[in-house]
Amino acid sequence: MNSGSDAGTRPERVLVVDDEKPLAQMVATYLARAGYAVDLAHTGPDALEAARDRSLDVVVLDLGLPGLDGIEVCRRIRGFSECYVLMLTARGDEEDKLAGLAAGADDYITKPFSVRELVARVAAVLRRPRTTVAPVEPAREFGELTVDLAAHEARVGGRPVGLTRTEFDLLGALSARPHQALTRRKLIDTVWDPSWVGDERIVDVHIGHLRRKLGEDPIGFIDTVRGVDYRMVTP
């Protein structure tokens, strides 16, 4: 497990946000046992304050919160932080999941859940390989789109595009294999983790956000193949 407790490194910091205090404390206890530094918040405003005051790696964020709901908290966190956001929802409704992902969440888990599964999900996002490369590697060009892994930046027509970590990682995975069709499962294994279990359509949602941010209308940089695979192309 990548708990960040190796010598010479700080433990990864996780903020658990849930208004159900016993549940939040139980989750925090399991995360602490796994080697993470854990903070707690029980309202939307308190979560934002904690996220601004601390250098966070992951936020475990409940959807239903007093003060500000989880969707708005996630949206605001995305304005100043690239930490991973794991959204919790008490409902399995597709709309809730889509709303969380649209706000910038990287993953979601539906209540009731196994705390061990949640800890495993946190470990999985922290194992995700960052798209870092040697400085000598040139930026990848796809027409007007530039994917600069060294700078962790995407540009369209020279204009920087604001992407979440997950969106940029998907772009990095696709641009590494131009014109090669990649299945949802392959992208999940590359961007999330081979151990990730859930609805693979999460890839479709993030690809949709990525396409909109890249301005893919009517000509796009990401092609859909057979309705289930994706590949990078030069418009």
The CATH code of the domain that includes 190 is 1.10.10.10
In a domain, residue 6? The reply is: no
What distances in angstroms separate CA 84 from CA 7, 21, 124, 205, one per listed residue? Answer: 23, 22, 11, 16
What is the percent of the chain where pLDDT is above 70?
A: 90
In a domain, residue 5? The reply is: no
* 130 confidence band (pLDDT: 50, 70, 90): low
First-to-last C-alpha distance (Å) of the chain: 41
* Average pLDDT over all residues of the chain: 86
164 vs 42, residue with greater confidence? 42
In a domain, residue 39? The reply is: yes
What is d(CA 16, CA 200) in angstroms, rounded to the nearest whole number?
Answer: 25
**Residue of 99, 100, 118 lying closest to 109 (CA atoms):** 118
Contact indicator for 30, 115 with CB cutoff of 8 Å: yes
Number of domains in the chain: 2
Average pLDDT on 41-51 reads 96
* pLDDT at residue 3, rounded to an integer: 45
In a domain, residue 17? The reply is: yes
Tell the burial category of 2 from Cβ atoms under 10 Å away from its Cβ (0-12, 13-18, 19+).
Answer: middle
Instruction: Choose the final residue of a domain: 127, 158, 192.
Output: 127
Residue type for 63, please? Answer: L
In a domain, residue 85? The reply is: yes
Give me the CATH number covering residue 43: 3.40.50.2300
24/87 same-domain check: yes
What is the percent of the chain where pLDDT is above 90?
A: 49
**Residue of 158, 167, 169 lying closest to 207 (CA atoms):** 167
Question: Is the pLDDT confidence value at 136 over 60?
Answer: no
Structure-block tokens of residue 191: 């961007």
108/170 same-domain check: no
Which pTM does this prediction carry?
A: 0.72
* pLDDT at residue 133, rounded to an integer: 43
19/122 same-domain check: yes
Range of the domain at 159: 140-232
Digit-coded pLDDT (tens) for 165-186? 889 999 999 999 988 999 999 9
Collapsed DSSP state (helix, strand, coil) of residue 27: helix
222/161 same-domain check: yes
* pLDDT at residue 219, rounded to an integer: 65
Instruction: Choose the final residue of a domain: 127, 148, 171.
Output: 127
* pLDDT at residue 24, rounded to an integer: 95
